[in-house]
Structure 1
Amino acid sequence: MIKKIVTGRLKTLTGLHIGTGEITENTDSPVYRNVNGDIVIPGTAIGGALRTLATRIAPHLEDKKCIALDENPQSKLCDCLVCNLFGPLNIGKNSEEGRASKLWIHDAVLKNDLKTSIRDGVGIDRETGTSSRKTRAKFDFEVVPKDSIFSFKIALQDNVTKDEETLLSCVLAEWREGREYLGGNIARGMGNIQLEDIKVFSIDLSNMDALMTFLKEDDEINAADEEKDWLERNINDARQLVKNDIDKEYLYNSFAQIDFVLKFIGGFVINDLLKSVQSGFDFCPKMENGKFIFPGSSFRGIFRSHAEKIARSLVTLNSSNASDFLNKCQACNPFADKEDPLTSCNVIFREYKHTHKKEEIKDDKLCLACQVFGSSFKGSRLYVSDGEMINSPEIKIMDFLAIDRFTGGGKEGAKFDALVLWQPKFKLRIFIENPKEWQLGWLMLVMKDLKEGLVSFGFGKNKWFGKVTIENETMKIGAISEVFIPSGLEKGSSYEGIFNTQILQLKELTEKDSKPIELWVKEFHKMLSDFRRVNNLVPASDTYFKDDVSDLYPKEVEL
């Protein structure tokens, strides 16, 4: 019987894509709809995300961990908090050993009438810095826009224990803080959601009036009484239970969140194919729900590519020859085939799996870039939000004409035009779970290059478009206990859910006497120095130590 009901609103902080797995005439991947044609987030998607986060938080609150976290999970009934609340993963040999979930999770239905859009995706070639045509890494998908509102409803059965309620509260608190991601392409700017207006109702069916109302009404909330401060009470209890001696990477231990404004110095265009057709211009800035946006995928691709460039440059300077470089190479090319330079970890592992079918792919087998940004064998822990435009830039119409190299005049058929945003500003966010200090140091080096205008985005980089700097940079650090606070920082003065948090300006971090950024960058250099590829997982070749390139462009030049 139902004991409590949790309601709220799910708000999309970025675009959202939960696909059907089908291909239609309009897009490679449409969003999920129910039989009435309404856009919904399936209860299975909500339940899966709730359970995943609960599985990673629960060991901080109790001594047991779910068998899902074991390297070799056994086919046995699990009695951890998570399995008791959500239902066991394995019911054992005898189905009578199984238990039903104590939660009923409803589909979340879209409440406001916002139009979906079609978004394009493309991979970045690591050698040219342009779209990766060779691998045909072009695709599109339907997107539910930012600021969409979905219903949210969970019913708790009367056999839910106090400890299980506490665990569920910890998970809902993370959703309330906007630190949850649903659906596909979450590492590339999609799926960031926030749970708002959380209310909890209790039902006492031993009361005759409440029972009659419950039986008569379609909505059981009409028979319930609101329970004030349920979430905060449980969160306060959870903070007292947190264990300080657990240090496992598979748990949710800490996070770092970097917020900043990306300021374009000149023009900026990321082409929206649909809008360009509708407007009649060859290039038109990306729009969703009538607003200009900077897709997180567009930022992430260039951001990762530049991070890889930093790592490979430092390694090249400390490598004596091609073999030495390949053994130390910290960043593969995600789109490189087997015989291509900087062969991707995905291709190497595919070959490796032919002879090591049962072996798990662990972090030490991945290049450093794939450890941070992810690969098809290991999901990313770094998420980039879509950029929200925060100013009203001038929109310019620009014409372009290619020059015929033989006549010196305009090349026939090579004229095109573009709608260009002039000096726009976008607010972006980078979020990383369980950051290691060397990873923070790497991110700080990329942020430094962004600040100094060394990175460009979008169309027309050789025309001086896409040049940027950053401003208003802040970093929020959250840690479930002091063990996970990065070097150079002290415990914060505030809490969000069960996480101790602190927000610092990046300028503050550089000026602190403890020099945290300097410590993190040193850890990054140490990781570069110590890293070695595992045998049989070395790329076939590279882009520098081959042919005559290293002779034409030596590492060190005498002035």
Structure 2
Amino acid sequence: MFKKLYNEAKITYILKTLSPLYIKSGKNDSLNPTGVDDSFLRVYKDGDLVPVLPGTSIKGVFRSRAEKILKGSCDLFNSKKNCASKVNKKKDDGTARYDKSCPACKLFGSTVLKSRVLFGDAYPEGEYKVGSRQTVAIDRITGASKKSALFDLEYVEDALFKGEIEIQNFFRWHIKVLTQLFEEVNDGFVVFGGLTSKGFGRMKLDDFQIKLKYYDKSKCGKDYVDKGFYMEKTINSFEELQNTIKNISLTADEIGRCEYNEQAL
């Protein structure tokens, strides 16, 4: 499935926080009396230590939601019912593994099929605020607060996070799924980070661009620009992409096809 490059797309997006965003770093400085118990995840970027929304977290949230909206998706954690259990690792080539995979695994990959989509880390654009909040753990049995379970956590708000998604050898329905997932973000059904049950992690799409490349020029319309060995088109708004793919279905027949004969978006 990946021996030849048929097409590729690069999505650049900006997500705006609508509520506090909490991504736990897993580290705390117990010797610092002014430090918080659970600090926000940070990494160095261009020499500065900044908050980060990890690409693995974004992919995990997107995949989890895709498994719910795509009919026939497997149970990834059930070794007897997931897509890997249907594959003969010695005999099945990439095409056979793809055909035996569920819709979610076809896009996001599995233990027997490489993912077509790569989620990069998202970093803040411009100014942002870092706050802290004191909270307490809840006893699941009594519903009351636990004794000696008070802790501080650090969060980010009023921020714009810019990230990128790359996808190779895609079918049009792959782009349709990613677009629908961004719609779910705007509608509040897809949230990020921790403490989402307390209202954290709400975001919305603030800016969007997708750049499409096709290496078979015969598939492209007049709106594509000839770049020599490939054809390219850039869609600069989410609404424009929605209009472009509105007639693409997510039926089993559409998803089940494994042919590179469809026309370009």
Specify if TM > 0.5: yes
Structure number with higher relative contact order (C-alpha < 8 Å, ≥ 6 residues apart): 2
Q: Quick one: distance in 1 between partners of 2:208 and 2:149?
A: 41
Q: Quick one: distance in 1 between partners of 2:109 and 2:30?
A: 34
Could you say if the C-alpha distance between residues 406 and 466 of structure 1 is closer, same or farther in structure 2, counting changes exceeding 3 Å? closer
Q: Quick one: distance in 2 between partners of 1:272 and 1:405?
A: 25
Could you say if the C-alpha distance between residues 335 and 281 of structure 1 is closer, same or farther in structure 2, counting changes exceeding 3 Å? farther
Deviations 1:428-467 (Å, cap 9, x if unpaired)? 1111112111212222211211222221010100000001
Q: Quick one: distance in 2 between partners of 1:427 and 1:277?
A: 32
2:106 corresponds, among 371, 376, 387, to: 371
Could you say if the C-alpha distance between residues 446 and 405 of structure 1 is closer, same or farther in structure 2, counting changes exceeding 3 Å? closer
Q: How does 1:408-557 map to 2 (within 5 A)?
A: 410-485=145-220, 490-493=222-225, 495=227, 498-504=229-235, 505-510=237-242, 515-520=243-248, 522=249, 524-525=250-251, 527=253, 531=256
- 1:300 and 2:53 aligned: no
Query: Which position in structure 2 is the counterpart of 1:337?
Result: 79
- 1:261 and 2:261 aligned: no
Gaps of 5+ in 1: 1-247, 313-328, 533-559
Task: Give the aligned residue type for 2:146.
Answer: K
Query: Which position in structure 2 is the counterpart of 1:393?
Result: 128
**Post-superposition offset of 1:412:** 0.9
Could you say if the C-alpha distance between residues 382 and 483 of structure 1 is closer, same or farther in structure 2, counting changes exceeding 3 Å? farther
Could you say if the C-alpha distance between residues 375 and 409 of structure 1 is closer, same or farther in structure 2, counting changes exceeding 3 Å? closer
**Post-superposition offset of 1:407:** 7.7
Query: Which position in structure 2 is the counterpart of 1:219?
Result: none
Task: Give the aligned residue type for 1:345.
Answer: C
Could you say if the C-alpha distance between residues 274 and 261 of structure 1 is closer, same or farther in structure 2, counting changes exceeding 3 Å? same
Q: Quick one: distance in 2 between partners of 1:464 and 1:442?
A: 25
Query: Which position in structure 2 is the counterpart of 1:358?
Result: 91
**Post-superposition offset of 1:416:** 1.6
Task: Give the aligned residue type for 1:337.
Answer: S
Query: Which position in structure 2 is the counterpart of 1:281?
Result: 36
Q: How does 1:30-109 map to 2 (within 5 A)?
A: none
Q: Quick one: distance in 2 between partners of 1:437 and 1:418?
A: 42
Q: Quick one: distance in 1 between partners of 2:90 and 2:74?
A: 22
Q: Quick one: distance in 2 between partners of 1:509 and 1:405?
A: 44
Query: Which position in structure 1 is the counterpart of 2:260?
Result: none
Gaps of 5+ in 2: 258-265
Q: Quick one: distance in 1 between partners of 2:201 and 2:224?
A: 37
Q: Quick one: distance in 2 between partners of 1:498 and 1:278?
A: 59
Q: Quick one: distance in 1 between partners of 2:83 and 2:253?
A: 18
Structure showing greater radius of gyration is 1
Aligned pairs, how many? 248
Q: Quick one: distance in 1 between partners of 2:205 and 2:198?
A: 20
Contact 2:217 2:230 in 1 (8 A): no
Task: Give the aligned residue type for 1:335.
Answer: F
Query: Which position in structure 2 is the counterpart of 1:53?
Result: none
**Post-superposition offset of 1:282:** 2.6
Task: Give the aligned residue type for 2:75.
Answer: N
Q: Secondary structure at the match of 1:421?
A: strand
Q: Quick one: distance in 2 between partners of 1:442 and 1:301?
A: 14
Aligned-residue Cα RMSD (Å) equals 2.7
Could you say if the C-alpha distance between residues 455 and 405 of structure 1 is closer, same or farther in structure 2, counting changes exceeding 3 Å? closer
More helix by share: 1
Task: Give the aligned residue type for 1:333.
Answer: D
Give the TM-score of the pair, scaled to structure 1.
Answer: 0.41
**Post-superposition offset of 1:531:** 4.7
**Post-superposition offset of 1:250:** 3.4
Q: How does 1:192-231 map to 2 (within 5 A)?
A: none
Q: Secondary structure at the match of 1:362?
A: helix
**Post-superposition offset of 1:525:** 2.5
Contact 2:15 2:205 in 1 (8 A): yes
Task: Give the aligned residue type for 1:264.
Answer: T
Contact 2:23 2:155 in 1 (8 A): no
**Post-superposition offset of 1:526:** 5.1
Contact 2:28 2:37 in 1 (8 A): no
Q: Quick one: distance in 1 between partners of 2:168 and 2:65?
A: 21
